[in-house]
Amino acid sequence: MYTHLDDTIVAISSAPGHGARGIVRLSGPRAVEIAGAVFTPAGPRSDAAESSLTSRANCDEPLPLSALRPFSACAGAVQLDERTTLPALAVLFPAPRSYTRQDLVEIHTIGSPPVLELLVERSIAAGARPAEPGEFTARAVLAGAMTLAGAEAVAATIRARSDAAAPRGAAAAARGTHRAHRHLAG
């Protein structure tokens, strides 16, 4: 099923439907490069930096995504077409300290399904391939960042149909991730 673990994948990782914020996630060796093709960091005092979406900006000037501080949000914009940009954040999670243990970038913007689909399409045009269902978590398991039990718990949390089921799945997922990290540390 997951035969190409050395390529870069992309998918919408926020909940389906409309929302205040949507997330497109890239993982793999070209994640930073491909994210740079759809996201432009903002300079100081830009309109994007004033957005409520970008209140945690750490970019002082336009720069390549590879120069971002890991694990912090950078204000910028995504270009939808020749005339339209939207405020966005990019968060860089460098390997091996990411969910998949690969370079991982999340682009946060307005949670409109057509906007998010367009960002996925632009990422694919830049060299990513669409992630298969569960592929981010499969990469985490195969890299040793999560146990199989933890991956099953993630799936249970995603499929939860009640308020009571979701916390049980999330707690099991946390235990699976903790066990994998304890094994690596010890």
Q: Which residues of 64-78 are buried (b: 16+ CB within 10 A; e: fewer)?
A: ebeebeeeebbbbbb
Residues 169, 84: one domain?
no
| Alpha helices (H) in 3-59, listed in sequence order | 31-38, 47-50
pLDDT value, residue 56:
43
Whether 97 and 13 share a structural domain: yes
pLDDT of residue 153: 83
Domain count of the chain? 2
The whole-model pTM stands at 0.77
CATH number of 58's domain: 3.30.1360.120
Q: Is residue 140 part of a domain?
A: no
In tens digits, the chain (186 residues) has pLDDT values of 666 778 999 999 998 899 999 999 999 999 999 999 999 888 544 444 344 443 344 555 555 666 667 787 888 999 888 888 999 999 999 999 899 999 999 999 999 999 999 999 999 999 999 999 999 988 988 988 888 888 888 887 777 777 766 565 556 556 655 444 444 444
- Domain that includes residue 79, residue range: 9-133
User: Which amino acid is residue 150, in one-letter code?
Assistant: G
